[in-house]
Structure 1
Amino acid sequence: MDQSSLLYGAITLVVCGLSSLYVALVIWSPPPIVTRDSEKQYLCHASPKKSRPLSRLADPGSVDLTIVVPAYNETERLPVMLEATIDHLTSPTLKNKHSFEVLIIDDGSSDHTSAAALKLAGKYPKCDIRIVTLEKNLGKGGAVRHGMLFGGGERLLMVDADGASRFTDLELLWEAMDKIAPSNGAGVVVGSRAHLVKTEAVVKRSFIRNVLMYGLHTILRIVGVGHIRDTQCGFKLFSRAAAQQIFPAQHLPTWIFDVELLLLAKQLHIPVMEVPIEWHEVAGSKLNVVTASLQMLRDLLIVRANHLLGRWKALPARPKAQ
């Protein structure tokens, strides 16, 4: 066999290999997230049976703050979290400081989370608590994305339903947002538990969870968000301008979606600030660490590959007409 034949064979193998990898990427990439008509509406204490239309992220903001709570089978943990949220936002020191709405996104639960949330809303009749029920379980990332796309806040906070983050730390995030995104500019403030690594809050966690945490940090440095020490804390604040650019471009519905959000912010040159917050582990996590680890690795590779190849990308916001 002459050299030209060997060269041709090698090129053919490389082309076939790259083509196979590309096909695998297309197959493994999650399909577009479909929003059904029923999911564009909500129930509330004032209208428990007749659905009302949700706000749209593309429209101007209608309140100071939207709180997005992804909830999958959270009938037991949601009451404590919601009480802490409402107590803080209606406290004498903050009363009337932030107009707000709470969006509880029931991610296709099987334990009647929506009904429980609607009953909870009755405890706070003066508060705008909206319950949205997704027809199928999307995953935490899909539920957060949905809430953000239909939030009316000038600032939008994602917060876990377990109440692990101290809600009063919202004010720390708020102050940081004032610094990096004045005049309603684009900005993201990340609640961070990095300062707790050597404390009991983390040391007492299971061995496998801590291994997962350190492994994740290593991979994050490889994919390009190693500058954020804690990407996974479920307490993040987005300005409306940032949310309008980031969330329509989000593809991952799984639990590692936070990394995609931060990668998008980096691509869009949106400033991100990390702020230490208080946090404690709450029993009842639905995360299977072994399955999640494998899914994490797959999804991070999928995100990075799609971004590098330009299949997934975010477009900067168009300048507003004067």
Structure 2
Amino acid sequence: MLRLLSTIYTLLVLWSPPPIITHDSEKKYRSHGSPKKPLPLTPLSNPARVDLTVVIPAFNEIERLPIMMDATIAHLTSTPIKKRTFEIIIVDDGSTDGTSAASLKIAGRYPKCDIRVVTLEKNLGKGGAVRHGMLYGGGRRLLMVDADGASKFEDLEDLWKAMDGLSPIGSGVPAISVGSRAHLVKTEAVVKRSLLRNVLMYGFHFVLRILGAGHIRDTQCGFKLFSRSAAQQIFPSQHLPSWIFDVELLLLAKMLGIPVAEVPIEWREIPGSKLNVITASLQMLRDLLIVRVNHILGRWRPTPLRPKAA
């Protein structure tokens, strides 16, 4: 029995993803004001300097990103919202199509906006790109949003309002608001998807209930808002760089006792997904088991922080 347990533990260590290494070049960003000379990013551990950080992971998004950015900036600079200070961090996740160059062109169209372009030296995966952007965000609140524009950016205000009820600005109380598509399950947006995708969706939710994340109806919506104190506790403890990282974030929040508000949002499927559903599903099962066992054994354990005003 001891040998069996030792073998299982060894396999767990071997299958667990290695620590995510941040290279020196990735600690800097380029912008419209400094397109050639990279400037240093500000760590998440520092005090907040803007109201909102928008983190956009981007892998080969030269076509979809400009449309999404136009909608994002149109909302953030609209009359009712423009008193909210913000920055946008585009994390180019090792793209091969010139996403960083395209991002700088977008920044040039909006010279008054603080748009920062970070280029990772190699592709980490969506989770790794989001984590990197969050670890260098300067916002009192930090939003992760997909580059495809599937989520309606104006729904940020619903997430913002839900977080106000959990963690008023300046309170330092950790909280998370997550966009949810659960209300769309019986609508055409989901019904018209392929049978395979729908079967995998229900199977995925079944696995989540077994692993203890069934309290959130939609874990995978790429539209999530974090208070700064929540981000400071969760993202340094994130290990998964793959697309299933959202579940790890929510499990960490549960372990830390951080409240999560689930908010219905508008969503539409955008052509151009790079996800292979079969491969991704197998990877999902493996990664979820790895996360849960590492948590149970105490190998991966988040470190709570004393709440700070932000």
Class of the TM-score when normalised by the shorter of the 2 chains: over 0.9
In structure 2, the residue matched to 1:251 is 239
- The amino acid of 2:97's aligned partner reads D
Q: Does 1:15 align with 2:2?
A: yes
Q: Is 1:270 aligned with 2:249? A: no
The answer to whether structure 1 residue 317 and structure 2 residue 305 are counterparts is: yes
Distance (whole Å) between structure 2 residues aligned to residue 209 and residue 55 of structure 1: 40
Asked if 1:168 is matched to 2:154, the reply is: yes
After TM superposition, the structure 1 = structure 2 runs for residues 259-298 of structure 1, keeping only pairs within 5 Å, are 259-298=247-286
Give the C-alpha shift of residue 99 in structure 1: 0.4
| Alignment check: 8 A CA contact 1:154 1:184 kept | no
Following the alignment from structure 1 to structure 2, what is the Cα–Cα distance between the partners of residues 181 and 47? 35
Cross-structure match for 1:116:
102
Please name the residue that 1:33 is paired with: 20
* Contact kept? 1:191, 1:275, Cα under 8 Å: yes
Residue 107 of structure 1 is aligned with which of 89, 93, 96? Answer: 93
Residue type of the partner of 2:165? K
1:196 corresponds, among 184, 193, 206, to 184
Tell whether the 8 Å contact from 1:68 to 1:105 is kept in structure 2 after alignment.
yes
Distance in 1, Cα, partners of 2:12 & 2:199: 28
Q: Using the alignment, how far apart are the partners of 2:81 and 2:289 within structure 1?
A: 43
Could you tell me which amino acid in structure 1 is paired with residue 145 of structure 2?
Answer: V
- Which protein shows a greater Rg? 1
Contact 2:174 2:307 in 1 (8 A): no
Q: Hey, what does 1:229 align to over in structure 2?
A: 217
Residue 318 of structure 1, CA deviation: 3.1
> Which residue number in structure 1 is paired with residue 287 of structure 2?
299
Displacement over 2 Å in runs of 4+: 318-321
1:48-87 aligned at under 5 Å gives the runs 48-87=35-74
Aligned-CA RMSD value: 1.0
Q: Could you give the per-residue CA deviations for residues 114-169 of structure 1, whole angstroms, max 9, x where no partner exists?
A: 00110111111110000000001000000000000000000000000000000000
1:179 aligns with 2:176: no
Instruction: Supply the distance in 1 between the matched residues of 2:220 and 2:127 (Cα, whole angstroms).
Output: 11
Contact 1:42 1:54 in 2 (8 A): yes
Structure-1 separation of matches of 2:220 and 2:122: 24
> What is aligned with 1:11?
none
Q: For the residues of structure 2 that align with 1:26 and 1:287, how far apart are their CA atoms?
A: 26
- Find the aligned partners of 2:119 and 2:190 in 1 and give their Cα distance: 33
Summarize deviations over 1:63-114 as a string: whole Å, max 9, x none. Answer: 0000000000000000110000000011122122x10000000000010100
Equivalent residue letter for 2:142:
L
- Aligned counterpart, 1:6: none
Unaligned runs of 5+ in 1: 1-13
CA contact (8 A) 1:56 1:152 kept: yes
- Scaled by the length of structure 2, the TM-score of the pair is 0.98
| 1:55 CA displacement | 1.2
Residues 173 and 308 in structure 2, CA contact (< 8 A), matched pair in contact too: no
**CA apart distance, 1:312:** 0.1
In 1, Cα distance between equivalents of 2:29 and 2:301: 30
Amino acid at match of 2:241: P
Secondary structure class of the residue paired with 2:130? helix
One-letter amino acid of the structure 1 residue matched with residue 185 of structure 2: V
The two structures have a TM-score, normalised by structure 1, of 0.94
Say whether 1:126 aligns with 2:112: yes
Aligned counterpart for 1:92 among listed residues 76, 79, 84: 79
SS at match of 2:109: coil
Instruction: Tell me, yes or no, if structure 1 residue 47 matches structure 2 residue 34.
Output: yes
Code of the aligned partner of 2:191: V
**Between Structure 1 and Structure 2, how many residues are aligned?**
307
Distance in 2 (CA, whole Å) between partners of 1:261 and 1:41 is 25
SS in 1 for 2:51: strand
Q: Which is further off, 60-69 or 210-219?
A: 210-219
Deviation at residue 319 of structure 1 after TM alignment: 5.6
2:183 maps to a residue whose letter is H
Q: Is residue 90–residue 116 contact of structure 2 (8 Å, CA) maintained in 1?
A: yes
How many angstroms does 1:197 deviate by? 0.3
Q: 1:197 to 1:315 in 2, by over 3 A?
A: same
State the 1:295 CA deviation: 0.1
Match of 1:139 among 122, 125, 144: 125
Measure how far apart 1:184 and its partner are: 3.3
Out of 130, 144, 148, the position equivalent to 1:158 is 144
